[in-house]
Amino acid sequence: MNTKALEKAALSVRALSIDAIQKANSGHPGLPLGAAELGAMLYGELLRHDPSDPAWVDRDRFILSAGHGSMLLYSLLHLAGYKDMSMDAIKSFRQLGSNAAGHPEYGMAAGIEATSGPLGQGIAMAVGFAVAETMLAARFNTAAHKIVDHYTYVLCGDGCLMEGVSAEASSFAGHQKLGKLIMYYDSNKITIDGSTDLAFTEDAAKRYESYGWQVLNGSMYDFDEIARLTALAKAETSKPSIIILTSIIGKGSPNKQNTADIHGAPLGPEEIAITRANLGILGDFYIAPEAAEYFTAKQAEWKKARAHWQLLFDAWSKENPEKRREWDTFYSGKATTAALPVYNAGDKIATRTAGNKALAAVALKNTNLAGGSADLKGPNAVGLPAELGTWGAANRAGQYIHFGIREFAMAAICNGISLHGGFRSYCSTFMVFADYLRPALRLSALMRQPVVYVLTHDSVFVGEDGPTHQPVEHLASMRVIPNLCVLRPGDAEETAEAWAIAMERTGGPTVLALSRQNITVFPKSDPDWKNTIRTGAYIVKQAEDGTPDIIIIATGSEVSIALEALDKTTGKNIRVVSMISKELFESQPAAIRDAIVPPGVRVIVCEAGVRFGWERWAKPEDILSIDCFGESGPAADVGKHLGMTAEALAAIAGR
Amino acid sequence: MNTKALEKAALSVRALSIDAIQKANSGHPGLPLGAAELGAMLYGELLRHDPSDPAWVDRDRFILSAGHGSMLLYSLLHLAGYKDMSMDAIKSFRQLGSNAAGHPEYGMAAGIEATSGPLGQGIAMAVGFAVAETMLAARFNTAAHKIVDHYTYVLCGDGCLMEGVSAEASSFAGHQKLGKLIMYYDSNKITIDGSTDLAFTEDAAKRYESYGWQVLNGSMYDFDEIARLTALAKAETSKPSIIILTSIIGKGSPNKQNTADIHGAPLGPEEIAITRANLGILGDFYIAPEAAEYFTAKQAEWKKARAHWQLLFDAWSKENPEKRREWDTFYSGKATTAALPVYNAGDKIATRTAGNKALAAVALKNTNLAGGSADLKGPNAVGLPAELGTWGAANRAGQYIHFGIREFAMAAICNGISLHGGFRSYCSTFMVFADYLRPALRLSALMRQPVVYVLTHDSVFVGEDGPTHQPVEHLASMRVIPNLCVLRPGDAEETAEAWAIAMERTGGPTVLALSRQNITVFPKSDPDWKNTIRTGAYIVKQAEDGTPDIIIIATGSEVSIALEALDKTTGKNIRVVSMISKELFESQPAAIRDAIVPPGVRVIVCEAGVRFGWERWAKPEDILSIDCFGESGPAADVGKHLGMTAEALAAIAGR
């Protein structure tokens, strides 16, 4: 270990960070300056990676959970030789189109493993990476060839630890004995408001012990200690490790270090001059020659290690052709088509139950699909066929995951599993608790990860549990998220297709909104409905007499209400459309939309949720919706009380 | 302490619970049966309360965080003599209109202190109650008269502890030394999925020690031990206490106790018969005579204690007339009108900054307003005038609260402060992180608590921080929540009125959506705009020539874009409307709406957020919106990149 070079690398991180932030006149120097030594150690000594092949499957992962310190990551990616993080990118930090965005954005530059910034989620995603590593290793490693063997490193700050999601994820990680997860805690005792004494004096070491982690303590500014503690973390294979590194925020800035001022604002030209003099920074965007040389030498080493792994992988492939085929399927980026369950019109089945049958079919064909529920395996109906096993310390090849009552961490862990590569992930809870996991759902969408969210009990027809458990605003609240596809199938047949659509998706997450209550499978007028439904809507019931007077657009369980309303309406020629995805349908070309909902025809909408958003399709008075919180009572009573009935719909149609 | 009577009270809780759940054919017997002894102790011996005056200000509070166990609470309210919880209510458990709703619903019956069911939030609300108690005591107690002196008790289960919000709230409570907060943890090692061994094996005792709590351990089924541990909890005045009670879920049901089966389903007639025989339950909805006698005797004691307090309070009132006047103001349920800051057209000021000025004015007049930010006091601009002080262990009379980076707990704590009575509360973070606190925002709305949510950095004009920090879907996602009023003021003057409107509200929470960037104060055509704005919209700029050809509806910072667009448009007669609250405006009678947006006139909408919901007012092509995630870059560049400019708006108007 070349301590001298590492010092120069840390100096270069500081130099690049203060200059990039100053040039942008925006950014967070506190963390890059405070944690530069750890960064240098990670990218120089600790990480097994190869900047010339950032997608190397068996690389170690590093997630900067404290994403505001993005210049730490960018500086290191640049120094280590990641091409996407050129000096031009660094110099255009926080400018439109720069790979060096304000916070690390997944997909903007190779080497950024996850989008971070929303605090705490980086920790939970790192847990997901570590989960995925165990799954991949268990599937593919052989006694002779350990082709999967990498660590997940994460760097967090006080903010991440204060966020509840870190508690959920860390408790899960300890329980699940994720020995290859190593977290560095940049403990600088300063937050935006000032000292952590204002709000955060818990004993983090004891807290992590309570979760079953190995807890190690040291200084941020002792390379040998970081090396030693990391070695101890690696040596403990049955516990994740937290390495608490005492640090100084903004270290190197003589007047601003150790104050809240340096957390999130440029140093200013004066303080930059003083800092440069203090540290020995010899120019703009300075990279110390020793650091450059060091990383150049490292690049050769890394390439060698990467090539060595390739030999291992090739040998393994030769000896294990079947495993290799499975591996290629895992990494194909495409789901394998499954034969979906078949139903007959008239079958009575809740769409959550139909979802379970579809999930079973899909999971048996896609053994890289892993996921579970936040302690609602039965109610959500998301268990997997027994042969697929339960993932855990005792069986790292299992596909079902017990997340515990931790919705937010569950979703973030699923993001991590998906980001890791090789796996698809799904998670599940009651739809009303989508609120609990919403920040991670947003990151799924922003990072375009095809995580499947199975959200059951999708309306007031939940019944007795009452308003705390009855979603009314949730469909609308999720439809507004860009890149997210909300699918609310109307019966068991549609549910099977919905699972297929979710698995076909690669550019973003999918919500499957499923019913608690039984729904009767209905006949479909459109003979090609299984294709048409992929536009977001199709004609369930053609108007008796050719051109309709009225089109009823309904979703989910309300398609049945619409069909029932037909019998209660006379003298009208009504078409019923099941709009499984409002946003998908609205994104279609006009010709496709017009074929299903021709312009000029009166439209009535029926959905057991808020009206908001449906005014695009119908006049307010033609929307049968629920614009208040629900009530506790048997489902049918609640529906009647809130006017969500076939009678009420027929009355609107009859007007 | 009459142990025999308490046993009979516990037996009666079990009897009422199993029968009510069976009759409803729905509900959760596991907790009521498992924690009946604690319940009997609480409502018989521990709580200082008076069922004949459930609103008694100095009563102890009990929050059932594990709200699914609602029959525990209902049984005890009934036994203790709370009139709202009649036997009819118990017998109509979970039926439409029953006071005994599926989960405890605040407002359905006196004695229910908070709506619970969404796990973990009861703990955080309890923290809020305990905060409020210290504030009230510090304001009003005198050396001679301790008129405020009550405890906050909360009962939680494994689920509550797994939820991240409990971690946030508990870390806060420990830091803040809330000695009068006492939490019982019903540790039964069973969740819906099965044993806690599946997902939850952390050391809860050590975890709570790490937060700075006193940790006590005992058995659920030893009245003396519960009494002794509760006394220890009360004796520790500088730490909250957790009392971990080992219990058996569903205790008393011979075949189902200690299994996941009993968590959330009726026992069934057969098991009820066996349970009755096992416990000595002598009939339907059985109340043991000894229990009834016991509570009758207690009622007399409680009335005496209540009367004694009244003497104390009256004596205090006599000696402290000024304090008494302040007390009455605190409990008036009405905010005191403040003289709001005044601006001149042309002033350049961010609405977050204007918000701070208004907040200062409001808080100085309403010293019962308490709140703060999740570590963004400066960026959110929600600090209070220094003389109002910072609340904490050193100053329980302070009004500013440092919540730490714990958005979810912050909002739930604010709900608790508001529910406690005497106080108004506000909280603040970046708007994008409204997602983190959304479950508590929903509860504010459901419980109709007038908590003020100050959400700054309300659009992509945040700029450099990029898409993780730029809300695009958040305005829409909050407008869909029933009972919530989202206010997005267009300039500093509107912001002052927005704060006034928020304080006038009593029936639900308010969101104030405020800008990071400076906005120029604009002149207003409507001379009565300060009244008109209370309808949700008013005319900022009347069309030059009487009746408009086009109405531009804009909100927040986009009102300025609309005004700027006027100069770039020729030959059109345009009215500009600032719609500070879409949902408020839409709830007005047609005559009011039509005066501002006359039917038949072309409407263009401009808002830096998703289009969703605006189709009620304009055709899709006439809505200038942002329907994708944002980008990192200087605000003006981002606005231009996303087409959110006066030029783009003028182009639409010119079509």
List pLDDT tens digits, range B257-288. 999 999 999 999 999 999 999 999 999 999 99
Q: Which residue of A has its CA nearest to B477?
A: A477
For residue A22, the model assigns a pLDDT of 98
Contact A402/B at CB under 8 A: yes
Q: Assign B289 to helix, strand or coil.
A: helix
B264: its two tokens: 């959330």
For the stretch B278-290, what's the b/e string if a residue is b when 16 or more beta carbons lie within 10 angstroms of its beta carbon? ebebeeebbbbeb
| Catalytic residue (choose from A37, A407, A497, A583) | A407
Distance CA B611, CA B627 (A): 7
For residue B24, the model assigns a pLDDT of 98
Q: Element (H or E) spanning B245, and its range?
A: strand B241-246
Which A-chain residues 48-67 have CB contacts (< 8 A) with chain B?
67
Residue contact A406–B164, C-beta within 8 A = yes
Residue contact A406–B379, C-beta within 8 A = no
Contact A326/B at CB under 8 A: no
Residue contact A467–B446, C-beta within 8 A = yes
For residue A566, the model assigns a pLDDT of 96
pLDDT 10s digits, A231-242: 999 999 999 999
Q: Which residue of B has its CA nearest to A404?
A: B199
Give residue A542's identity as a one-letter amino acid code: Q
Q: Assign B573 to helix, strand or coil.
A: coil
Contact B389/A at CB under 8 A: no
Which A-chain residues 617-636 have CB contacts (< 8 A) with chain B?
620, 627-629, 631-634
Contact A432/B at CB under 8 A: yes
Whether the predicted pLDDT of A462 surpasses 80:
yes
pLDDT 10s digits, B308-356: 999 999 999 999 999 999 999 999 999 999 999 999 999 999 999 999 9
Partner residue facing B464 (CB), from A94, A407, A465: A94
Whether the predicted pLDDT of A245 surpasses 80:
yes
Closest chain A C-alpha to B622 CA, distance in angstroms: 12
Confirm if A492 and A519 have CB atoms less than 8 A apart.
Answer: yes
Q: Provide the number of CB pairs (under 8 Å) joining chain A to chain B.
A: 331
A544 is known as an active-site residue: no
Contact B207/A at CB under 8 A: yes
For residue A544, the model assigns a pLDDT of 85
**Best interface-test mutation with B: which of A165, A207, A209, A415 has the largest number of B CBs within 10 A?**
A207
**Best interface-test mutation with B: which of A95, A191, A375 has the largest number of B CBs within 10 A?**
A375
pLDDT 10s digits, A473-510: 999 999 999 999 999 999 999 999 999 999 999 999 99
List the one residue out of B636, B639, B635, B638 whose CA is nearest residue B649. B639
List the one residue out of B240, B38, B209 whose CA is nearest residue B124. B240
Closest chain A C-alpha to B585 CA, distance in angstroms: 14
Residue contact B482–A628, C-beta within 8 A = yes
pLDDT 10s digits, A296-352: 999 999 999 999 999 999 999 999 999 999 999 999 999 999 999 999 999 999 999
For residue B31, the model assigns a pLDDT of 97
Residue contact B210–A193, C-beta within 8 A = no
pLDDT 10s digits, B461-493: 999 999 999 999 999 999 999 999 999 999 999
Distance CA A590, CA A592 (A): 5
Residue contact B171–A193, C-beta within 8 A = no
Set of chain B residues whose Cβ sits within 8 Å of the Cβ of A632: 94-96, 98, 101-103, 105
Contact B91/A at CB under 8 A: no
Q: Which residue of A has its CA nearest to B438?
A: A435
Residue contact A97–B633, C-beta within 8 A = yes
For A374-462, list the strands marked E by DSSP: 400-402, 424-430, 452-456
Confidence of residue A459 (pLDDT cuts 50, 70, 90): very high
For residue B341, the model assigns a pLDDT of 97
Residue contact B480–A612, C-beta within 8 A = yes
Contact B408/A at CB under 8 A: yes
Contact B403/A at CB under 8 A: yes
Distances A649 to A568, A605, A646, B516 between C-alpha atoms, Å: 9, 9, 5, 45
> In the predicted model, what is the mean pLDDT of residues B188-206?
95
Q: Assign A392 to helix, strand or coil.
A: strand
Residue contact A446–B469, C-beta within 8 A = no
**Best interface-test mutation with B: which of A210, A244, A261, A628 has the largest number of B CBs within 10 A?**
A210
Set of chain A residues whose Cβ sits within 8 Å of the Cβ of B158: 405
Confidence of residue A545 (pLDDT cuts 50, 70, 90): confident
Only one residue has tokens 């609308």, namely A476
pLDDT 10s digits, A337-395: 999 999 999 999 999 999 999 999 999 999 999 999 999 999 999 999 999 999 999 99
Confidence of residue B544 (pLDDT cuts 50, 70, 90): confident
Strands B424-430 and B369-373: parallel
Only one residue has tokens 């659920």, namely B220
> In the predicted model, what is the mean pLDDT of residues B208-215?
98
Confidence of residue B547 (pLDDT cuts 50, 70, 90): confident
Return the HEC string of B131-155: HHHHHHHHHHCCCCCCCCCCCEEEE
pLDDT 10s digits, B561-581: 999 999 999 889 999 999 999
Cα dihedral A498, A501, A506, A510, rounded to 10, equals -20
Residue contact A439–B439, C-beta within 8 A = no
Residue contact B466–A117, C-beta within 8 A = yes
Distance CA B475, CA B14 (A): 46
Confirm if B15 and B59 have CB atoms less than 8 A apart.
Answer: no
Closest chain B C-alpha to A635 CA, distance in angstroms: 10
List the one residue out of A122, A48, A129 whose CA is nearest residue A419. A129
Residue contact B476–A481, C-beta within 8 A = no
Q: Assign A509 to helix, strand or coil.
A: coil
Contact A472/B at CB under 8 A: yes
Contact A27/B at CB under 8 A: yes
pLDDT 10s digits, A139-193: 999 999 999 999 999 999 999 999 999 999 999 999 999 999 999 999 999 999 9
Confidence of residue B123 (pLDDT cuts 50, 70, 90): very high
Confidence of residue A547 (pLDDT cuts 50, 70, 90): confident
Whether the predicted pLDDT of A39 surpasses 80:
yes
Closest chain B C-alpha to A475 CA, distance in angstroms: 10
Return the HEC string of B319-350: HCHHHHHHHHHHCCCCCCCCCCCCCCCCCEEE
**Best interface-test mutation with A: which of B477, B478, B615 has the largest number of A CBs within 10 A?**
B477
Cα dihedral B467, B471, B476, B482, rounded to 10, equals 130
Whether the predicted pLDDT of B242 surpasses 90:
yes
The residue count for chain A: 655
Angle at which helices B121-140 and B321-330 pack, to 10 degrees?
160
**Best interface-test mutation with A: which of B190, B203, B435 has the largest number of A CBs within 10 A?**
B435
Closest chain B C-alpha to A520 CA, distance in angstroms: 23
Partner residue facing B439 (CB), from A375, A435, A631: A435
> In the predicted model, what is the mean pLDDT of residues A279-287?
98
Set of chain A residues whose Cβ sits within 8 Å of the Cβ of B409: 164
For residue B605, the model assigns a pLDDT of 98
Whether the predicted pLDDT of B546 surpasses 80:
no
Set of chain B residues whose Cβ sits within 8 Å of the Cβ of A511: none
Residue contact A200–B174, C-beta within 8 A = no
B405: its two tokens: 């980076």
> In the predicted model, what is the mean pLDDT of residues B515-519?
98
Q: Bridge partners of A424?
A: A369
Q: Which residue of B has its CA nearest to A618?
A: B616
A56: its two tokens: 């190397």
pLDDT 10s digits, B15-34: 999 999 999 999 999 999 99
> In the predicted model, what is the mean pLDDT of residues B599-610?
97
Set of chain A residues whose Cβ sits within 8 Å of the Cβ of B115: 468
Distance CA A469, CA A535 (A): 31
| Catalytic residue (choose from B105, B113, B133, B407) | B407
pTM to 2 decimals? Answer: 0.98
Confirm if A34 and A248 have CB atoms less than 8 A apart.
Answer: yes
Set of chain B residues whose Cβ sits within 8 Å of the Cβ of A402: 193, 198-199
pLDDT 10s digits, B60-102: 999 999 999 999 999 999 999 999 999 999 999 999 999 999 9
Set of chain B residues whose Cβ sits within 8 Å of the Cβ of A117: 465-466, 468-469
